[in-house]
Amino acid sequence: MNTANPQSQNLISMACQLRRDVINSLSVAGSGHLGASLGLADIFSVLYFSVLNHCPEEPTWPYRDRLVLSIGHVAPVYYAAMANAGYFSREELLTLRQLGSRLQGHPSRQAALPGVESASGSLGQGLSIAVGMALTAKLDKQDWHVYSVHGDGELQEGAIWEAAMSAAHYNLHNLTAIVDRNGVQIDGPTRTVMGLEPLSEKFEAFGWHVLTCDGNSIDALLNAFHKVSEVDDKPTVIIANTRMGAGVPQIENDYTWHGKAPDEQQREAFLRALDNEN
Amino acid sequence: MRTEKRYLLSRTEKPTRLGFGRGLKAIAMSDERVVALGADITSSVNVDLFQQHFPDRFFSLGIAEQNIMGVAAGMALSGKIPFAATYGVFSALRTTDQIRISICYNNIPVKIGGAHAGISVGPDGATHQALEDIAVMRAMPNMTVLSPCDATQAEQATQASVTQVEGPAYIRFGREPVPDFIPPELTFEVGKAQQLKPGGDLTLIATGHMVWEALKAAEMLSDKGIDAAVMNIHTLKPIDSQALIDAANDTGLIVTVEEHQVIGGLGSAVAEVLSQHKPVPLEIIGMPDIFGESGTPEQLLKKYGLHAQNIAAVAMNKLQKIKS
């Protein structure tokens, strides 16, 4: 069982570590999705090192909380969090996207990487999977919790709202969805590509408990996750406002960094920027 | 090679979906991991029997097929064996991406029921006649594709989808009643073809409801002095390659019959095997790359060449052609 110190200073340091690992692994891979991986580092630090009740040395421990990554393209930060939590070695992060690697470009169960609950990479499927897991926990009278991580652009997929409806219908208080609300997607700002607002009201209308927080603040995230248990008859969504590329000022909020990897020069500059920020 | 007929002549008519409902209830009684998901047509696909017996293990999810497949995946990833059944046009085709990634790529035991397969769905017309599901399901890695020929076999196939298949399975059913002709003692083995009637001149290879039409066609051919074997392919994937090669060796002419597009279905699967391992003359009877329409099942089977009379005529012509 993970009993990492939940104090925020440790989580801030871990988020920085995850960002370094993301930059290094993407730089070696030569391709991948940097922007959202950096933006989600604080959320993954809080999830894997404070929120999740899990057991990295026994990845299929039956009573573990489940984390469903619905946006497979942020695999670099997901892998970094799992490696730092002890599911596999950090050295393996440098095999990202290579032939034969367990660290596939998008998460795969076929590749048998410990800790991967489900494949993902086609947007809009993870919330349904999380609903199925939460229903199972209720059916089996288990108290493990299900967390799912989504992008904001992903919410444009209709299947998300089918799943949202069913989560509320079955009062799945054991399900918490986290939305990475960075406001940008590949074609540009989300509001111009396909507007999502009023987003909180949409989830409220679908019967969800809605929390909003600064997704790049460890304290704000800890506070939000703490509030999840205040409601025992509905699913919770945490709309986490993040900055794509957070931690590396020269690329923050620049959506052209959605699907790019840094070259060697950029890698060094980004790591220096990280050091200066912390 | 077996020499006797292995089908019953006088049996009551039942829809294959009825066998699905019974098989689901039976397997749920012996395996408590089995759960079922509803898509608003629960009684139409005969899952109401399960629902009555196991209300706690049934989850209504409404008219939201993409979500149903994802929820099924989530339950399978948590140790359950979910059955998700609706009409094949929805369960196989509206949900294809969820089946591909959440179910097949994860390689988990979700069992998908595809009811109302084929043109014999009748008056509902083209929107409800699943004619492309085999092609799409067959193309998915890790997927097993079952297509039982009568209610007895549907009951067996449904149970076998759990007891004999570790990963995902798609099970196809028809809407209309068909004679229940499979002897109960004929065991169901996933991946094994069944020769229901021996014959030396040609082999009619059929799947689903078309097996009965093929048996009737064989009797008509017999009246004309043609000795046709009939093979039931209840498992389209993995297909029984050896049985197909044996049939080609034994009879030298193969005629396939399916209520499905000629692209990607049974005929294609047979051609994939025989063209590489035992090329013999092959005639593929099915929907010729067109949509269906409204009509009675009987009218539609005749119009689209899937009636026993059509099958017998095509087989006879082909046999005469290769002999001349």
Q: What is the pLDDT of residue B110?
A: 98
Backbone angles phi, psi at B146, to 5 degrees: -110, 145
Instruction: Pick A134 or A7 by higher pLDDT.
Output: A134
pLDDT digit of tens for each residue in chain B (324 aa)? 455 788 887 678 999 999 999 999 999 999 999 999 999 999 999 999 999 999 999 999 999 999 999 999 999 999 999 999 999 999 999 999 999 999 999 999 999 999 999 999 999 999 999 999 999 999 999 999 999 999 999 999 999 999 999 999 999 999 999 999 999 899 999 999 999 999 999 999 999 999 999 999 999 999 999 999 999 999 999 999 999 999 999 999 999 999 999 999 999 999 999 999 999 999 999 999 999 999 999 999 999 999 999 999 999 999 999 988
Write down the residue that tokens 């604080």 correspond to. A42
Rounded Cα gap, residues A135 and A150, in angstroms:
19
Give the angle subtended at the CA of B71 by the CAs of B149 and B144, to the nearest 5°: 30
Cross-chain Cβ contact B105/A108 below 8 Å = yes
Q: What is the pLDDT of residue B173?
A: 95
3-class state of residue A237 by DSSP = strand
Cross-chain Cβ contact A118/B70 below 8 Å = no
pLDDT, one tens digit per residue, over A191-200 is 999 999 999 9
- How, if at all, do strands B228-232 and B202-206 pair? parallel
3-class state of residue B152 by DSSP = helix
Cross-chain Cβ contact B57/A110 below 8 Å = no
A177 touches chain B (CB under 8 A): no
pLDDT at A276 over 90: no
Structure token pair of residue A196: 């999502």
- How, if at all, do strands B169-172 and B111-115 pair? parallel
Q: What is the DSSP string of B115-158?
A: ESBSGGG-TT-GGG-B-SHHHHHHTSTT-EEE--SSHHHHHHHH
Q: What is the pLDDT of residue A189?
A: 94
Amino acid at B306: L
- Number of other CB atoms surrounding residue A140 within 10 Å: 12
How far lies B264's CA from each of A57, A156, B8, B300, in Å? 45, 33, 31, 21
In chain B, residues 88-107 whose CB comes closer than 8 Å to chain A: 97-98, 100-102, 105-107
Q: How far is A66 from chain B (nearest CA, A)?
A: 9
Cross-chain Cβ contact A135/B71 below 8 Å = yes
Residues of A in contact with B57 (CB under 8 A): 139
Q: How far is B137 from chain A (nearest CA, A)?
A: 18
Rounded Cα gap, residues A224 and A234, in angstroms:
15
Q: Is A8-277 a domain of CATH 3.40.50.970?
A: yes
Q: Which of B299, B298, B291, B288 is nearest to B126 (CA)?
A: B291
Which of A129, A140, A166 should be substituted to probe chain B, the one whose Cβ sees the most B Cβ atoms within 10 Å? A129
Rounded Cα gap, residues A130 and A177, in angstroms:
9
3-class state of residue A271 by DSSP = helix
Q: How far is B70 from chain A (nearest CA, A)?
A: 5
Which of B67, B69, B142 should be substituted to probe chain A, the one whose Cβ sees the most A Cβ atoms within 10 Å? B67
Task: Determine the angle formed by the axes of helices A126-139 and B65-77, rounding to 10 degrees.
Answer: 50
pLDDT at A2 over 80: no
Write down the residue that tokens 């409204």 correspond to. B294
The fold for domain B194-323 equals: Rossmann fold (3.40.50)
| Average pLDDT estimate for A71-100 | 98
pLDDT at A237 over 50: yes
Rounded Cα gap, residues B45 and B109, in angstroms:
20
Segments making up each domain of chain B, as ranges? 13-179, 194-323
Q: How far is A219 from chain B (nearest CA, A)?
A: 31
The number of CA neighbours under 13 Å toward the Cβ of B199 is 28
Rounded Cα gap, residues B130 and B120, in angstroms:
10
pLDDT, one tens digit per residue, over A148-196 is 999 999 999 999 999 999 999 999 999 999 999 999 999 999 999 999 9
Tell me the ipTM for this assembly: 0.96
Are B144 and B269 spatial neighbours (Cβ–Cβ below 8 Å)? Answer: no
Q: What is the pLDDT of residue A4?
A: 46
Q: What is the pLDDT of residue B9?
A: 78
Q: What is the pLDDT of residue A258?
A: 87
- How, if at all, do strands A188-189 and A184-185 pair? antiparallel
**Do B13-179 and B194-323 share a fold?**
yes
Cross-chain Cβ contact A135/B64 below 8 Å = no
Cross-chain Cβ contact B78/A133 below 8 Å = yes
Q: What is the pLDDT of residue B208?
A: 97
Q: How is the beta sheet containing A209-214 ordered, strand by strand? A: A66-69, A146-151, A175-181, A236-241, A209-214
Q: How far is A267 from chain B (nearest CA, A)?
A: 33
B54 touches chain A (CB under 8 A): no
Segments making up each domain of chain A, as ranges? 8-277
Q: Is B13-179 a domain of CATH 3.40.50.970?
A: yes
